[in-house]
């Protein structure tokens, strides 16, 4: 544990695997996170069962991986810890199916706090409610574990009915490999709101719109789509990798002085006070539940806005240009991520 940061960070020495001994963990779902949690737990000696619908296409894969499989209700009935790793939109219905199987002292665990924070799932007061959230796609959680490496994660306790919720959560984090890298303590509220804001303002929404607008600006000015693609999208990975490895300072130190000067002076001109105001509005909608209500309604009505927006993005010219260019270069065949792994991320 370290006192150098505002948040507590936990490592292997802070976790005790005895807190999961003689307990059964039911992992509900076998997609991106589910397959990684279940396999890592099993390899760590934890008794694991995977909960899937009888018609789930993932049943065969889970069984082939040597795991016990049953319906969510069946595996929850004999579990001490129920890890809810189905998609957020499905969780309320799955919880309604397994709710009667929760016994006093059991643990209901999540990898994202959306449904707890926004009241879509309301557990009984006599169970622990915790979160262990690896900050990585599931295939990397699994790969890192197999390579004796770790994946950073988050830890939160929403409800501590037993007094042991945190210790058990740390044992779970250790079993899936997160404490090898470090687990940051947070809250359900903080994880949920920062996660949604980050996705919308930067990681998924902001960055894709920035790329598309920059691409369109170059193409509209008469530059070739291929050059616009390389400058505005392809090179993004190189820059992000540098920042991932050593922060923004590492990136600035690695690019040319010309790039650094241009970025330092023009970046604030592009991301101006208007963008800051828009980000404030986005954060407010997350904080006051407006986005959550909108997303819940969107799912209840068949996702009309979602499908329209997704189709608009898929049809953008940059997608066709990128696909054509990527197929021409050798690195297109050197991607270390298999198609199976990519499919599990999408699941």
Selected catalytic residue, list 112, 117, 307, 316: 112
Quick check: 155 and 131 in contact, CB under 8 A? yes
Which token pair is 70?
A: 């049953």
Which token pair is 239?
A: 């820059």
Quick check: 220 and 211 in contact, CB under 8 A? no
Q: Note if 307 is an active site residue.
A: no
Quick one: which of 293, 316, 302, 91 has its CA closest to 225?
316
Q: Which long-range contacts (CB under 8 A, 24 or more apart) does 284-293 make?
A: 286/193, 286/196, 286/197, 286/200, 287/193, 289/118, 291/196, 291/200, 292/114, 292/118
Which token pair is 242?
A: 């540098």
Determine the 3-state secondary structure of 295 from DSSP.
helix
Question: Would you mind telling me the total number of residues written for the chain in this entry?
Answer: 347
Q: What DSSP state is assigned to residue 202?
A: I
Place of tokens 């969510």: 72
Quick check: 30 and 50 in contact, CB under 8 A? yes
Nearest-angstrom CA–CA distance, 339 and 329: 18
Nearest-angstrom CA–CA distance, 253 and 278: 30
Nearest-angstrom CA–CA distance, 253 and 242: 10
Place of tokens 């279940």: 38
Quick check: 286 and 189 in contact, CB under 8 A? no
Active site members:
112
């Amino acid at each position: 544990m370290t006192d150098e940061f505002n948040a507590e960070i936990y490592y292997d020495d802070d976790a005790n695997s005895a807190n999961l001994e003689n307990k059964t963990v039911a992992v509900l779902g076998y997609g991106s996170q589910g397959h990684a949690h279940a396999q890592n737990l099993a390899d760590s000696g934890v008794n694991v069962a995977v909960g899937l619908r009888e018609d789930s296409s993932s049943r065969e894969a889970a069984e082939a991986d040597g795991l016990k499989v049953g319906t969510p209700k069946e595996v929850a009935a004999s579990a001490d810890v129920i890890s809810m790793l189905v998609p957020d939109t499905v969780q309320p219905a799955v919880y309604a199916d397994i709710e009667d199987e929760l016994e006093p002292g059991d643990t209901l665990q999540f990898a994202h706090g959306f449904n707890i924070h926004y009241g879509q799932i309301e557990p009984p007061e006599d169970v622990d409610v915790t979160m262990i959230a690896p900050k990585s796609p599931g295939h990397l959680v699994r790969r890192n574990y197999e390579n004796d490496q770790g994946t950073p994660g988050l830890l939160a306790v929403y409800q501590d009915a037993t007094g042991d919720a945190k210790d058990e959560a740390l044992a779970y984090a250790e079993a899936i490999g997160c404490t090898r890298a470090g687990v940051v303590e947070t809250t359900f509220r903080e994880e949920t709101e920062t996660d949604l804001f980050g996705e919308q303002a930067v990681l998924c929404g902001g960055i894709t719109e920035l790329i598309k607008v920059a691409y369109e600006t170059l193409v509209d000015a008469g530059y070739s789509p291929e050059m616009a693609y390389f400058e505005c999208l392809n090179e993004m990975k190189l820059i992000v990798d540098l920042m991932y490895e050593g922060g923004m300072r590492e990136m600035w130190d690695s690019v040319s002085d010309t790039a650094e000067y241009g970025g330092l002076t023009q970046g604030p001109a592009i991301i101006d006070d208007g963008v800051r105001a828009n980000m404030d509005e986005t954060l407010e909608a997350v904080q006051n539940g407006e986005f959550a209500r909108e997303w819940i309604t969107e799912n209840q009505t068949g996702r009309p806005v979602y499908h329209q927006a997704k189709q608009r993005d898929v049809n953008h010219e940059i997608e066709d240009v990128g696909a054509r260019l990527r197929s021409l270069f050798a690195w297109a065949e050197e991607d270390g991520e298999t198609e199976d792994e990519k499919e599990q991320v999408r699941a």
